[in-house]
Amino acid sequence: MNVTLAIDDELILEARRRAEAMGTSVNQLVRQYLEQFAGKSDADSDTREFEQLSRAAQGDSGGWKFNREELHKRR
Query: How many Cα neighbours within 13 Å face the side chain of 64?
Result: 8
Measured CA to CA, the distance from residue 16 to residue 24 in angstroms comes to 9
Per cent of the chain over pLDDT 90 is: 32
Q: What is the pLDDT of residue 10?
A: 96
Q: What is the pLDDT of residue 28?
A: 92
Non-local CB neighbours of 35 within 8 Å, separated by 6+ positions: 41
Measured CA to CA, the distance from residue 59 to residue 15 in angstroms comes to 31
Q: What is the pLDDT of residue 75?
A: 60
How does pLDDT run across 26-42, given as a tens digit for each residue?
999 999 888 888 887 77
Dihedral sign of CA atoms 50, 43, 38, 16 in order: negative
pTM score = 0.53
| Ranges under pLDDT 70 in the chain | 75
Measured CA to CA, the distance from residue 18 to residue 12 in angstroms comes to 10
Q: What is the pLDDT of residue 35?
A: 84
